[in-house]
């Protein structure tokens, strides 16, 4: 009788089976077997998978990245990409396998089926379907957590739409911020165009030149900016770009990086609140809250302003319990601070709301009394809404 197969033999057999299955799914298993004789796939299955990922990129990504326009445009460049820095000598864009190879070295770890996995160095290309890819990326992410940020935050481009305005045309990318291993009922989202990413890249390179030296950024193009293939490649590149930035502690704590995510929402929410559009403002304040929560900056002045916006909008919409909770959260953050421009307004709002909803207000009244004795008369202090409207958001 033949001896039982060794562990190495079983591994080799499994590699051969997976290799054949992958090429069978891709419709070209026989041809690859004849060209390479199967040896490269058996010895180096990862490299074979990466090579296989160079074909059919846009088709494979269609399950995750949705396009609202698939126009084959060769017209003028996006408005923000017409300026200096365009590579006039850029060679014609390759197609097929060559096109994938151009992208494969820089953009890896695309998340299939909305898995939300972050790009990871050396991640194998998808070949076994979305569920298997999700498990692979999750496993790679767990193994790499020591080299990346302590808080595992994933960036996923979920959709890209071509927007046409009077004098410009551009692609708007919608990005989800997802904490690994958790399900977010209301995920934090941003919508940014190429010029927003380029501005962030330029500002960070001016301040963190050494740290940014090894971080790739998708280059400008003169043509074919609105094709599905270009949009898919840029989407993957933006995911990788944000993940790399977030993995560097100095960068992810910098105002340039943080404000890229939530400053636009804060400005829009403030504008809506000033015009009395409280329901719309509430949704924008809530998204800004989620963004800051994912980014781990829940003790900053911007976060206190966000809580003020939420409290004001809830109160104006007669949602007093929610407004009271926002004030309580803010006062907990301000507990250790002897003085803060928003402390008095929050205390006044909390006392008023606590009386309305039947909650204990004695502690806030005592703190208000201490403020009255230590500072200007309480009547001269602005209300929470006045502070919110007058706060400059530069």
Residue 169 DSSP code: E
pLDDT tens profile 17-48:
666 666 555 554 444 444 444 433 333 333 22
Q: For residue 132, give the 3-state DSSP assignment.
A: helix
pLDDT tens profile 162-193:
999 888 899 999 999 998 877 778 889 999 99
> How many whole angstroms separate alpha carbon 237 and alpha carbon 244?
10
Residue 197 has pLDDT above 80, yes or no: yes
What are residue 172's DSSP bridge partners? 161, 193
Residue in the structure block whose two tokens are 């958790």: 182
> How many whole angstroms separate alpha carbon 99 and alpha carbon 349?
59
Residue 12 has pLDDT above 60, yes or no: yes
Helix (H), strand (E) counts: the chain: 18, 4
The pLDDT assigned to 351 comes to: 95
Cβ-proximal residues to 313 (8 Å cutoff; 6+ apart), any chain = 273, 278, 279, 281, 282, 285
Kindly report each contact of residues 185-190 with a partner whose C-beta sits within 8 Å and lies 24 or more positions away, as own/partner.
186/286, 186/290, 187/290, 188/287, 188/290, 188/291, 188/293, 188/294, 189/287, 190/261, 190/264, 190/265, 190/291
At residue 374 the predicted structure's pLDDT band, cuts being 50, 70 and 90, is: confident
184, 45, 180: which is closest to 122 by C-alpha?
A: 45
Range with top average pLDDT, 5-14, 15-24, 285-294, 334-343: 285-294
Cβ-proximal residues to 332 (8 Å cutoff; 6+ apart), any chain = none
CB atoms within 10 A of CB 357: 13
Q: Are strands 188-193 and 66-67 parallel, antiparallel or unpaired?
A: unpaired
- pTM, two decimals, is 0.64
More confident residue, 145 or 212: 212
Question: Cα dist. 352→189, 248, 360, 372 in Å?
Answer: 33, 44, 11, 17
At residue 238 the predicted structure's pLDDT band, cuts being 50, 70 and 90, is: very high
CB 120 within 8 A of CB 264: no
What are residue 179's DSSP bridge partners? 153
């Amino acid at each position: 009788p033949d001896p039982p197969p060794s562990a190495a033999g079983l591994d080799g057999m499994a590699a051969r089976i997976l290799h054949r299955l992958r090429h069978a799914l891709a419709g070209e298993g026989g041809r690859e077997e004849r060209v390479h004789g199967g040896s490269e796939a058996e010895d180096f299955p990862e490299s074979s998978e990466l090579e296989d990922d160079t074909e059919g990129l846009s088709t494979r990504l269609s399950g995750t990245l949705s396009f609202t326009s698939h126009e084959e445009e060769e017209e003028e460049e996006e408005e923000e990409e017409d300026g200096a820095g365009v590579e006039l000598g850029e060679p014609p864009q390759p197609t097929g396998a060559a096109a994938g190879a151009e992208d494969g070295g820089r953009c890896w770890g695309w998340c299939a089926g909305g898995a939300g996995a972050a790009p990871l160095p050396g991640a194998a290309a998808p070949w076994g379907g979305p569920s298997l890819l999700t498990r692979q990326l999750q496993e790679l992410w767990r193994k790499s957590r020591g080299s990346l940020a302590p808080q595992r935050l994933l960036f996923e481009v979920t959709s890209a739409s071509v927007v046409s305005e009077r004098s410009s045309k551009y692609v708007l990318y919608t990005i989800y911020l997802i904490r690994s291993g958790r399900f977010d009922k209301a995920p934090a989202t941003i919508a940014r165009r190429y010029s927003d990413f380029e501005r962030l890249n330029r500002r960070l390179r001016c301040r963190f030149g050494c740290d940014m030296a090894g971080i790739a950024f998708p280059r400008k193009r003169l043509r074919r900016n609105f094709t599905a293939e270009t949009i898919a490649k840029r989407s993957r590149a933006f995911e990788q770009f944000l993940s790399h930035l977030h993995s560097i502690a100095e960068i992810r704590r910098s105002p340039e990086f943080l404000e890229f995510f939530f400053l636009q929402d804060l400005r829009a929410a403030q504008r809506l609140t000033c015009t009395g559009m409280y329901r719309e403002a509430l949704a924008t304040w809530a998204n800004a809250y989620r963004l800051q929560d994912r980014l781990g900056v829940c003790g900053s002045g911007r976060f206190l302003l966000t809580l003020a916006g939420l409290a004001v909008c809830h109160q104006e919409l007669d949602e007093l319990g929610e407004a009271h909770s926002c004030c309580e959260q803010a006062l907990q953050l301000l507990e250790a601070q002897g003085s803060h421009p928003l402390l008095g307004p929050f205390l006044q709002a909390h006392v008023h709301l606590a009386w309305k909803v039947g909650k204990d207000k004695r502690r806030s009244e005592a703190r208000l009394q201490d403020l009255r004795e230590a500072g200007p008369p309480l009547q001269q202090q602005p209300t929470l809404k006045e502070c919110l409207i007058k706060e400059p958001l530069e």
